[in-house]
């Protein structure tokens, strides 16, 4: 990437990765063909398709329309090779218990951003009658019958809320999830499950109530994925970092409230219209403090990108990371590009510098990788970012979209064959 070009124009926002993956898992709860519309063409969706195929589903993926025929999905084991690639594969646990009363799921790997336990998933499902054991790296789960219970999560975990939700829709009786995650992707999943015939109240609030079907499977439906607020936020920050002006087509401002507020505090112009969100910045950003928290707080998935913007701000900002303990790892990459950031536990002190300078850099995970790309676009000179396969997990055709906006980007080799 040759830095220094303003990003200008309109960019279409894809369907949300973090929703699409869960909607795909939910297809296991119906016997017919579930269609996920507006599915992003990213490597993680491809991996989830392989997970579902390993379980016996048939997948047809044309453009952004993904059809999942789960009528023959008799399998209950997800292989290590796939779960290792993508931690979110664990989200098939709830649907498998609901459908087959058993599951054998490899223990997850995934992004390198902290210990990422699954204890809350397991405790919730245990309360509903599941039992777990571990066998040579596999989690072995059994639940002859799932029953509704009150489940109070210690932390509003996105994945735990989703696994419990998908188990509960086919359980007997009523499940109440307290301290549930409130992310728009949870609302999207609950929306699709409701279209499939599930009875769910309160999705998007801290208490979700689910009236189970008593063991009956749901109806297959067609559902359009909610727009990706993290992709939109990434382009919003990139627009600001290059002093550009970009229309985020299809982005939903109500899902980015705090992010937009922080960008405005930093000096961005934001207009919300029928086509999406238009965002631009003319001057060096002002320093802004921010704290990551579960939704509706500032998303941890936009923390690295925001750090890049603030690294060239006038003044000193403080970022606090409350969701993933190791998410500051990429700061070293950014400092190599001339940023002045010091971390102390889960706080980072960002002293704004005039400019970033190009240096060979690595994508460390999906979001840190996107942040490194933004740093390259804002830096002077040519920056080579390696390990872009991380970014391909979550961003559809990033270089194509950046080129559309006027960036000077070249891909050295084709993306990993993620698309089938
Ligand atoms: C999802 C998103 C991820 C996002 C995160 C937080 C997907 C595929 N990924 O991840 O992009 O960054 O939400 O918004 O949707 N925790 C436990 N025990 C558990 C579960 C979680 O201690 O059983 C901890 C985690 O280690 C982490 C925090 O809770 O520190 C948040 O995790 P969680 O909300 O579960 O995130 P994911 O669902 O993994």
Which atom of ligand 1 is closest in space to residue 120's alpha carbon?
A: 23
Q: State both tokens at 361.
A: 């850099």
Strands 207-211 and 199-201 turn out to be: antiparallel
CA 179 to ligand 1 center in whole angstroms: 14
At 326 the pLDDT is 84
Q: Is 377 helix (H, G, I), strand (E, B) or coil?
A: helix
For residue 60, list its beta bridge partners.
67
Count Cβ atoms below 10 Å from residue 117 Cβ, excluding itself: 11
- The CA distance from 116 to 122, in Å, is 13
- The CA distance from 276 to 9, in Å, is 12
- Radius of gyration of the chain from its Cα atoms, rounded to whole angstroms: 21
Sheet holding 138-142, edge to edge: 77-78, 102-106, 138-142, 131-135
CATH 3.65.10.10 fits 8-14+228-404, yes or no: yes
At 11 the pLDDT is 98
User: If you take atom 28 of ligand 1, which residue's CA is the nearest one?
Assistant: 323
User: If you take atom 13 of ligand 1, which residue's CA is the nearest one?
Assistant: 158
Q: Record the pTM.
A: 0.96
CA 149 to ligand 1 center in whole angstroms: 22
For residue 131, list its beta bridge partners.
142
The answer to whether residues 204 and 182 touch, using CB atoms and an 8 Å cutoff, is yes
Q: Is 240 a catalytic residue?
A: no
Give, for ligand 1, the residue of 93, 157, 296, 370 to mutate: max count of ligand atoms closer than 8 Å to Cβ: 157
Superfamily of domain 17-214: Enolpyruvate transferase domain (3.65.10.10)
- The CA distance from 83 to 99, in Å, is 20
CA 157 to ligand 1 center in whole angstroms: 5
- The CA distance from 297 to 404, in Å, is 31
Give, for ligand 1, the residue of 16, 114, 116 to mutate: max count of ligand atoms closer than 8 Å to Cβ: 116
Alpha-helical runs (H) found in 311-350? 331-336
User: If you take atom 35 of ligand 1, which residue's CA is the nearest one?
Assistant: 157
**17-214 has the same fold as 8-14+228-404:** yes
Residues contacting 4, CB < 8 A, separation 6+: 242, 378, 379, 380
The answer to whether residues 245 and 280 touch, using CB atoms and an 8 Å cutoff, is yes
CA 88 to ligand 1 center in whole angstroms: 9
**Of 111, 225, 319, 341, which residue is the catalytic one?**
111
Which atom of ligand 1 is closest in space to residue 324's alpha carbon?
A: 30
Domain residue ranges in the chain: 8-14+228-404, 17-214
Cis peptide before 296 (omega within 30 of 0): yes
The answer to whether residues 67 and 59 touch, using CB atoms and an 8 Å cutoff, is yes
Q: State both tokens at 29.
A: 């709860």
Q: Rounded to an integer, what is the distance from CA 368 to the centroid of its chain?
A: 13
* Residue (of 1, 20, 27, 314) closest to 184 by Cα position: 20
DSSP code per residue over 241-285? HTT-EEEEET--GGGSHHHHHHHHHTT-EEEEETTEEEEE--SPP
Local confidence pLDDT in tens for the 420 residues of the chain: 999 999 999 999 999 999 999 999 999 999 999 999 999 999 999 999 999 999 999 999 999 999 999 999 999 999 999 988 898 999 999 999 999 999 999 987 544 545 568 999 999 999 999 999 999 889 999 999 999 999 999 999 999 999 999 999 999 999 999 999 999 999 999 999 999 999 999 999 999 999 999 999 999 999 999 999 999 999 999 999 999 999 999 999 999 999 999 999 999 999 999 999 999 999 999 999 999 999 999 999 999 999 999 999 999 999 999 999 888 989 999 999 999 999 999 999 999 999 999 999 999 999 999 999 999 999 999 999 999 999 999 999 999 999 999 999 999 876 555 555
CA 1 to ligand 1 center in whole angstroms: 32
Protein residues with CB under 6 Å of any ligand 1 atom: 18, 21, 88, 114-121, 155, 157-160, 181, 300-301, 323-324
The burial class, CB within 10 Å (0-12 / 13-18 / 19+), for 144 is: exposed
At 397 the pLDDT is 96
Residues contacting 248, CB < 8 A, separation 6+: 11, 13, 232, 235, 236, 276, 277, 278, 279
At 84 the pLDDT is 87
* Residue (of 406, 419, 409) closest to 11 by Cα position: 406
At 325 the pLDDT is 82
The answer to whether residues 154 and 179 touch, using CB atoms and an 8 Å cutoff, is yes
Which atom of ligand 1 is closest in space to residue 123's alpha carbon?
A: 23
CA 264 to ligand 1 center in whole angstroms: 28
The pair phi, psi for residue 200, each rounded to 5°, is: -135, 130
């Amino acid at each position: 990437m040759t830095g220094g070009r303003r990003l200008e124009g309109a960019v279409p926002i894809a369907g949300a990765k973090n929703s699409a993956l869960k909607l795909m898992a939910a297809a296991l709860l119906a016997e017919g063909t579930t269609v996920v519309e507006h599915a992003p063409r990213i490597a993680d969706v491809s991996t989830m398709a392989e997970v579902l195929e390993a379980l016996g589903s048939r997948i047809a993926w044309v453009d952004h329309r993904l059809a999942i025929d789960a009528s023959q999905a008799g399998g209950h084991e997800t292989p290590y090779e796939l779960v290792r690639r993508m931690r979110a594969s664990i989200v098939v646990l709830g649907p498998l218990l609901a459908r087959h009363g058993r599951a054998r799921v490899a223990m997850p790997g995934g992004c390198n951003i902290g210990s990422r336990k699954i204890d809350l998933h397991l405790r919730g499902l245990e309360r509903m009658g599941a039992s777990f054991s571990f066998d040579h790296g596999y989690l072995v789960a059994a639940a002859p019958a799932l029953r509704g219970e009150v489940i109070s999560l210690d932390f509003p975990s996105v994945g735990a809320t989703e696994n419990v939700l998908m188990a509960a829709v086919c359980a007997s009786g009523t499940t109440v999830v307290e301290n549930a995650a409130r992310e728009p992707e949870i609302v999207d999943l609950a929306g699709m499950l409701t279209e499939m015939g599930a009875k769910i109240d309160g999705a998007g609030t801290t208490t979700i109530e689910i009236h189970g079907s008593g063991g009956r499977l749901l109806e297959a439906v067609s559902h359009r994925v909610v727009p990706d607020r993290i992709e939109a936020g990434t382009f919003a920050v990139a627009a600001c970092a290059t002093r550009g002006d970009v229309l985020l087509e299809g982005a939903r401002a109500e899902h980015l409230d705090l992010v937009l507020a922080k960008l405005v505090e930093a000096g961005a112009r934001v207009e919300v219209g029928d086509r999406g969100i238009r965002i631009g910045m003319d001057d060096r950003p002002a320093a802004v403090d921010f704290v990551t928290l579960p939704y509706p707080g500032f998303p941890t998935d936009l923390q690295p990108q925001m750090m890049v913007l603030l690294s060239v701000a006038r003044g000193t900002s403080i970022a606090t990371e409350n969701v993933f303990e190791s998410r500051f790892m990429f700061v070293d990459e950014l400092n190599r590009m001339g940023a002045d950031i010091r971390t102390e536990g889960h706080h980072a002190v960002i002293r704004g510098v005039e400019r970033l300078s190009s240096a060979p850099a690595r994508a460390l995970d999906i979001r840190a990788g996107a942040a490194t790309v933004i740093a390259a676009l804002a830096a002077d000179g040519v920056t080579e970012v390696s390990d872009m396969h991380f970014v391909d997990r979550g961003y559809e055709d990033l270089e194509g979209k950046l080129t559309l906006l006027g960036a000077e980007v070249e891909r050295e080799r084709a993306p990993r064959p993620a698309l089938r």
